[in-house]
């Protein structure tokens, strides 16, 4: 006889009783679980459906439906009515036991686990055996002894890391925003896990971070910021429940950690009303801040820092091939280059390591962008000839190009909308252009993280469109899926129409446009100020033939002396060492040129500066020092740098991949090169501000 859990039964009943497709989001809402859990439960149900001659069909852009002949459907529904109902599926049981064991310091009797999970003791024993490898991978051990019980042993730090991973695997970010009092509708396993990760502390911690926000916190990517919140929430809730880190044998002092992190930590713990903490807990919490701050500092917009010149050149070549084949000016879209490099770095690594890639949007992408899909495949295979690129990955690349194609067609609107999308750069941009294409009245103000959007003053926008639940009043935003189905597009269209009508008087409409113009002017001022600072100092230097240097560091010290950066020789030596260390990490030579990009962010640099050096006598860099270099493009920046300055440097570094830029550097002087960069930066600003030339 078929066995299903309560949750699985509810999912099946929704699917079988609805006419047409049901989206994962609709299922999640009906059963009160996350969309991620819906997909996990559907995977477990698929074999049962298949054994009854039924298929679980997922139609991209429409939803999920159970298909089969009428006889098979009737027989399955009859068996479902007669089937045994388990309180928990095997998957839920294991998660429940992990939550129970990780929340206790003492062993739990096997019969107590069986009672909690409402399963037989042999079933619980089998589940525990299957959990052991997962725990061992997390640095933990499952201890089972007759008469003793069951417990999870290991360091408190390992336990906290394991809980964080459970939260990231089983919960959506929006799960953290609901009020604890509203958890009665949640499934027991979800409630247990939310308790374990300290959901009741989550928003208090987030508010404390916001109140005492440091500049580096604002530079964190949304995923890194949310992960910091989860790690802090887990740690603080476990501290409050008495799960403390045992004193370290090495006696690591909290004083060894960054002062900026200590200040942030002190402010947060004071805001939460926490008393004096043990030294090891202070050190651990500071470590969480240090790691997050390190990530923020490494979010350098100098585009080659992490991805490497080879990938950047390959990506630029890929874009040029696409431009030639489709006659679409992709190279003018700087966000396309940055987005592709950001995506391709980890994607290529996963493909080389043999990891499989899933793309739930693939069918819809092939349907909507059939010609573009074929072009992307051909040109990607020409660039990355040593990698087998599956359709799923091609689909993601198409999303980037599709977004670029449709950006040219956007029409300015008068309903100001913020977009919150957690599905990644490509899908968020595609969703943005689809919204604007479907609804011309919309003026998209930008893509924001959930915490930025939730704090944006309400007079700065009219509506938030989000793919996740937000911790704000429901009337301030509308929730859609990243796919933007036909039903959702119509729902949004009606909402925008009503909103546009509510901006009733012509004076209010004028005010909206004036506010948008004012914001654009403010943005333009910030970016152009940074451009002027950087370009005013730009200089081309020529070294005489009689200059010879024993090594790269000696040459760089001489170059820095020429730049008159108002630093003494000792500082120049240290800065040169940083540049040499950066060169040792990977290629700095622009492919097919004799130009090297040397760059670093340093505590000894007070403001961003770029310079070009023409060498009469070549130097040799790269692996085995065999690459001839006759020009050095030097880019220096402070460690702490505002976002506009970072983006300007990123854009200039991306220009080095343009053949026209390389030609300018080879033949031009200070004024002609500055003029070329200025023209490109002007075009970049027009794209950023979504200006349109008069028709």
> Among residues of the chain, what percentage have pLDDT more than 70?
81
Query: Is 694's pLDDT higher than 90?
Result: no
Q: Dump pLDDT digits (tens) for 606-618.
A: 889 999 999 888 8
Higher pLDDT, 161 or 13: 161
pLDDT for residue 148: 86
pLDDT for residue 297: 66
pLDDT for residue 668: 84
Higher pLDDT, 196 or 169: 196
Query: Is 181's pLDDT higher than 60?
Result: no
pLDDT band at 186 (very low <50, low <70, confident <90, very high): low
Residues 6 or more apart whose CB falls under 8 angstroms from that of 280 comprise: 244, 245, 246, 247, 248, 252
Query: Is 260's pLDDT higher than 70?
Result: no
Q: Are 166 and 152 in contact (CB under 8 A)?
A: no
pLDDT band at 693 (very low <50, low <70, confident <90, very high): very low
Q: Dump pLDDT digits (tens) for 512-525.
A: 444 456 777 787 88
pLDDT band at 547 (very low <50, low <70, confident <90, very high): low
Q: Dump pLDDT digits (tens) for 415-471.
A: 788 888 765 555 566 677 678 766 766 778 877 878 778 888 887 888 899 888 888
Query: Is 146's pLDDT higher than 90?
Result: no
Q: Are 539 and 545 in contact (CB under 8 A)?
A: no
Mean pLDDT of 300-320: 68
Query: Is 632's pLDDT higher than 90?
Result: yes
pLDDT for residue 416: 83
Mean pLDDT of the chain: 79
Instruction: Kindly write down the DSSP assignment for every residue of 285-330, as one continuous string.
Output: HHHHHHHHHHHHHH---STTTTT-HHHHHHHHHHHHHHHHHH---G
Mean pLDDT of 620-632: 81
Give the helix ranges, DSSP H, for 53-179.
70-82, 90-102, 110-117, 121-137, 156-170
Regarding pTM above 0.75, the answer is no
Higher pLDDT, 689 or 147: 147
**Beta-strand (E) ranges in 376-529?**
415-420, 442-447, 463-466, 477-479
Give the tokens for residue 122. 């042999």
Worst-scoring range by mean pLDDT, 44-58, 221-235, 255-269, 576-590?
A: 255-269
Domains for the chain: give ranges and CATH numbers: 3-86 (1.10.10.10), 309-407 (1.10.1790.10), 415-502 (3.40.50.2300), 534-688 (3.40.930.10)
Higher pLDDT, 679 or 62: 679
pLDDT for residue 505: 35
Cα(113)–Cα(120) distance, rounded to whole angstroms?
10
pLDDT for residue 487: 74
Query: Is 258's pLDDT higher than 60?
Result: no
pLDDT for residue 250: 44
Q: Are 598 and 634 in contact (CB under 8 A)?
A: yes
Mean pLDDT of 541-548: 75
Edge to edge, the sheet with strand 627-638 lists: 539-542, 609-621, 627-638, 595-602
Query: Is 152's pLDDT higher than 50?
Result: yes
Distance of CA 489 to the CA centre of its chain: 25
Q: Dump pLDDT digits (tens) for 197-209.
A: 998 888 888 878 8
Query: Is 303's pLDDT higher than 50?
Result: no
Query: Is 690's pLDDT higher than 60?
Result: no
Query: Is 248's pLDDT higher than 60?
Result: no
Worst-scoring range by mean pLDDT, 51-55, 300-304, 579-583?
A: 300-304
pLDDT for residue 411: 35
Query: Is 474's pLDDT higher than 60?
Result: yes
pLDDT for residue 393: 92
Residues 6 or more apart whose CB falls under 8 angstroms from that of 322 comprise: 328, 330, 375, 376, 379, 401
- Radius of gyration for the alpha carbons in the chain, expressed in angstroms and rounded: 29
Distance of CA 524 to the CA centre of its chain: 26
Q: Dump pLDDT digits (tens) for 316-335.
A: 889 989 988 887 778 766 66
Query: Is 157's pLDDT higher than 90?
Result: yes
Mean pLDDT of 533-555: 84
Higher pLDDT, 541 or 88: 541
pLDDT band at 163 (very low <50, low <70, confident <90, very high): very high
Higher pLDDT, 196 or 295: 196
Query: Is 62's pLDDT higher than 70?
Result: no
């Amino acid at each position: 006889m078929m066995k299903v859990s309560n949750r699985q039964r509810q999912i099946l009943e929704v699917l079988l009783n609805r006419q047409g497709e049901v989206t994962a989001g609709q299922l999640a809402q009906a059963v009160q679980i996350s969309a991620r859990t819906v997909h996990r439960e559907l995977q477990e149900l698929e074999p049962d459906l298949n054994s009854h001659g039924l298929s679980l069909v997922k139609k991209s852009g429409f939803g999920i439906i159970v298909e089969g002949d009428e006889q098979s459907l009737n027989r399955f529904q009859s068996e479902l009515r007669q089937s045994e109902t388990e309180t928990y599926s095997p998957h839920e049981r294991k998660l429940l036991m992990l939550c129970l064991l990780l929340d206790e310091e003492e062993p739990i009797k096997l019969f107590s686990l069986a009672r909690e999970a409402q399963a037989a003791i042999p079933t619980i024993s089998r589940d525990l055996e299957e959990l052991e490898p997962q725990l061992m991978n997390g640095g933990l051990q499952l201890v089972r002894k007759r008469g003793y019980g069951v417990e999870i042993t290991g360091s408190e730090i390992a336990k906290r890391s394991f809980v964080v991973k459970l939260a990231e695997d089983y919960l959506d970010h929006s799960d953290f925003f609901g009020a604890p009092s509203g958890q009665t509708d949640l499934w027991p396993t979800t409630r247990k896990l939310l308790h374990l990760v300290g959901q009741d502390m989550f928003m208090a911690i987030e508010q404390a971070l916001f109140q005492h926000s440091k500049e580096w916190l604002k530079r964190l990517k949304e995923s890194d910021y949310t992960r910091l919140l989860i790690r802090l929430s887990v740690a603080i809730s476990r501290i409050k429940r008495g799960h403390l880190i045992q004193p370290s044998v090495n006696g690591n002092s909290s004083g060894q950690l960054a002062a900026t992190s200590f200040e942030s930590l002190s402010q947060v713990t004071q805001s939460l009303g926490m008393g004096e903490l043990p030294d090891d807990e202070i050190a651990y919490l500071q470590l969480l801040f240090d790691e997050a701050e390190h990530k923020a500092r490494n979010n350098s917009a100098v585009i080659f820092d992490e991805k490497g010149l080879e990938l950047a050149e390959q990506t630029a070549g890929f874009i040029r091939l696409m431009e030639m084949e489709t006659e679409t000016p992709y190279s003018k879209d700087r966000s396309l280059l940055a987005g592709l490099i950001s995506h391709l770095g980890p994607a290529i690594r996963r493909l080389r390591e043999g990891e499989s890639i899933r793309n739930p949007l693939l069918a819809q992408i092939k349907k909507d962008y059939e010609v573009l899909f074929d072009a992307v495949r051909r040109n990607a295979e020409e660039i990355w000839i040593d990698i087998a690129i599956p359709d799923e990955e091609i689909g993601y690349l198409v999303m980037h190009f599709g977004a670029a194609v449709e950006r040219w067609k956007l029409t300015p609107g008068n309903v100001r909308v913020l977009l919150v999308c957690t599905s990644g750069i490509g899908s968020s941009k595609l969703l943005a252009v689809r919204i604007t294409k479907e609804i011309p009245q919309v003026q998209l103000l930008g893509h924001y993280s959930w915490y930025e959007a939730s704090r944006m003053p309400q007079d700065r926008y009219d509506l938030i469109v989000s793919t996740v639940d937000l911790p704000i009043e429901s009337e301030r935003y509308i929730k859609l899926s990243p796919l933007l189905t036909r039903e959702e597009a119509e729902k949004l269209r009606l909402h925008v129409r009503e909103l546009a009508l509510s901006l009733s008087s012509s004076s209010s409409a004028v005010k909206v446009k004036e506010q948008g113009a004012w914001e654009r002017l403010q943005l333009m001022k910030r970016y152009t100020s940074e451009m002027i600072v950087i370009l005013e100092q730009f200089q081309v230097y020529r070294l005489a033939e009689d200059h010879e240097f024993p090594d790269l560091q000696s040459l760089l010290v001489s170059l820095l002396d020429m730049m008159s950066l108002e630093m003494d020789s000792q500082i120049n030596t240290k800065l040169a060492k940083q540049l040499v260390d950066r060169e040792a990490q990977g290629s700095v030579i622009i492919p097919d040129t004799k130009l090297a990009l040397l760059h670093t962010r340093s505590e000894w640099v007070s403001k961003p500066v770029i310079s070009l050096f023409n060498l009469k006598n070549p130097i040799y860099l790269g692996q085995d020092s065999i690459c001839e270099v006759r020009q050095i493009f030097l880019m220096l920046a402070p460690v702490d740098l505002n976002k506009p300055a970072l983006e300007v440097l990123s854009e200039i570094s991306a220009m080095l991949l343009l053949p026209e830029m390389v030609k300018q550097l080879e033949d031009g002087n200070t004024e002609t090169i500055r003029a070329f960069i200025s023209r490109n930066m002007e075009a970049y600003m027009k794209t950023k501000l979504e200006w349109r030339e008069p028709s």
